[in-house]
Amino acid sequence: MKWFTHKAVAVAGALAVGAHVGALVAVLVGSVLPDMIDTAVAHGNKRVWRRIHRQTSHWFGWYVLLILLGLMLPLQEITADFLRMVNVSFPGISRRALSEALSNDLLVWLGIGGLVHVLLDALTPMRVPLFPFGGSRRFGISLVSTGSWQEYAFLILAVGAIAMQFRQARSVFETVLHALF
């Protein structure tokens, strides 16, 4: 899948569930993170790229782990303690607000973005690894080749489906509001 597809699907999904701005940025970074890791590791070397691309970085477990860590760790307190320790402050922003902004759910959204990336790559002929380190077992379905017209059709369908969800969610919300007031 192209980076654009990864980003569009992840951000559209996050928007549909009403994610805040910080979460949108986190999901955007997460949605290209697996490929960014491969690019960084290969460092322009085509041979290395061919060997490592869509291997360890594309194991779904890492991103599930990020989500779980984000849900379990008291990151807001850890961040607040860290900011106090290094005595960092920014004019106009309280440490409390800053640690809240950098809190748990950013890690969760980063993980969701990464997971969306891996699941989308699982829809291409190359698929994704079943195990984190080596092994030839891969899983997925060969639905769309990267850059093919099928990818664009998939992109339109996926984003369209998410947009429909958004509208439906909003109309449900409006119905509830009307019922209440």
Residue 105 touches Zn ion, criterion: CB under 5 A: no
Cβ closest to Zn ion, residue 103 vs residue 124: 124
Task: Compute the least distance from the CB of residue 125 to Zn ion, in Å.
Answer: 13
Task: Compute the least distance from the CB of residue 121 to Zn ion, in Å.
Answer: 4
- Single residue of 35, 62, 113, 154 touching Zn ion by CB under 5 A: 35
Task: Compute the least distance from the CB of residue 22 to Zn ion, in Å.
Answer: 24
For residue 22, the tally of other CB atoms under 10 A from its CB is 15
Residue 151 touches Zn ion, criterion: CB under 5 A: no
Look at residues 25, 54, 50 and name the one whose alpha carbon lies nearest to residue 37. 54
Residue 121 touches Zn ion, criterion: CB under 5 A: yes
Burial class (CB in 10 A: 0-12, 13-18, 19+), 144: buried
Encoded amino acid at 57, one letter: S
Task: Compute the least distance from the CB of residue 54 to Zn ion, in Å.
Answer: 6
How does 48-61 read in b/e, with b if 16+ C-beta sit within 10 Å? eeeebbbbbbbbbe
For residue 23, the tally of other CB atoms under 10 A from its CB is 21
| Chain residues that interact with Zn ion, rule: CB under 5 A | 34-35, 121
